[in-house]
Chains A and B, each alone.
Chain A
Amino acid sequence: MMDPDKELALLEKEYPKSHRAWIRDTPADLDDRILSLAARHAPYLQATHQLKEEQARLKQSLDDGDIFLPTTRPLKGGRPGPRIPPQLLESWSDSYESMPSASIRSPANRRATVPPGAKQLLVSLKNAKQQTWLNTIADIVKDGDIELASYLLRRYRTKFPHG
């Protein structure tokens, strides 16, 4: 019996992948439409990227105690307030999480952002292992439901912060 890979290679030789019958190029106007959309969207991505970088840099600086938080005390003669020792400084992320505006911060109150099907999945993943979470997310990504996959990835990172 012939080796399966060898047999496939022989068959592929008869119908090479470069066969004219199955190669079809895109029309120029379609290329223009897609590439112009990409160009129009790039500035938004650049702004988002810069914002994320700035947030990360600020968080790092606050965590390291390299910069000062603005003081609430009135300044005397325009001088800056006292430096807060790093050990007394709550990290940016901790203070963000403990902000009192629960109506905005609490996931329970952000119902509009929970994608369809998420609740059932979370129930089925309640006691699931880490790998099961990853497999589920990977399957959803392959199915193209980015919104649901993003939501589950955020929940995954909360559940397995060191994963």
Chain B
Amino acid sequence: MTDEELLQHYAMGHSEGMTELYLRLKTGLYSYIYNRVKDANLADDIMQDVWSKLITETDRIVEFVDDDVLQFSLRPYLYRMAGNRVTDYYRASGRLQSLGDDENYLVSDMPDPTQSLVDREFAYCLERRMRPLRLKLHEAFWLTRDESMTYKQAALALGVATETVKDWVKQVLKAIRPCREEYEYDGS
């Protein structure tokens, strides 16, 4: 069953539809949120907020799924909702430096102190290398770290062309390349 079919199943009152949907998407979506806010408590709050909204608004959201003309895709919708919450948090906490309409940068993006030392060192390196890049590039990179998220779906979530997402991710991957050598970190 597709994500959208599971939501339709839940909309008929079958709770197992939402259970399966949640189990399918939770790790990718939670990782995306956590990697962007680097705070477990805040990631929990945003995750709960996003799913609560999906659950309580199912009967309305499913109308979009049922409408063939709209070609609604659930996964980009959820990531976009989570991304908006993250940006709200950046703004509220003063972590966003804006140099124009679409030119936002993170002021600082410190790693989670609860991580192991090697992970933390690696995270510091990523932070240092990614900080000069525009926020949009961060979004594209973290969105596509979910194995089940295609470049096309990420493009839908970001509202840009698929090729643009690929280009942004490429820029990030190039920028963080030295971190792997620096820490001999294979992540396995």
Classify the secondary structure of B's interface with A: helix
- Inter-subunit contact A37/B55 (CB<8 Å): yes
- Which of B91-99, B100-108, B140-148 lines the interface with chain A? B140-148
What 0/1 readout, one digit per residue, does chain B (8-28) give for beta carbons within 8 Å of chain A? Answer: 001111110011001000110
- B170 CB contact (under 8 Å) in A8, A20, A141, A142: A8
- Whether A142 touches B159, Cβ cut-off 8 Å, given contacts A23-B27, A49-B11, A150-B60, is yes
| Interface residues contributed by chain A, number (CB under 8 Å) | 51
- B51 CB contact (under 8 Å) in A7, A37, A150: A37
- Whether A11 touches B10, Cβ cut-off 8 Å, given contacts A22-B142, A41-B55, is no
Contacts of B12 in A (CB 8 A): 45-46, 49
- Inter-subunit contact A21/B187 (CB<8 Å): yes
Which B residues have a C-beta under 8 Å from some C-beta of A? Answer: 10-15, 18-19, 22, 26-27, 30-31, 34-35, 40, 43-44, 47-48, 51-53, 55-61, 63-64, 67, 69-72, 76-77, 80-81, 84, 119, 122-123, 126, 142, 144-147, 156-157, 159, 163, 166-167, 169-170, 173-174, 176-177, 180, 185, 187-188
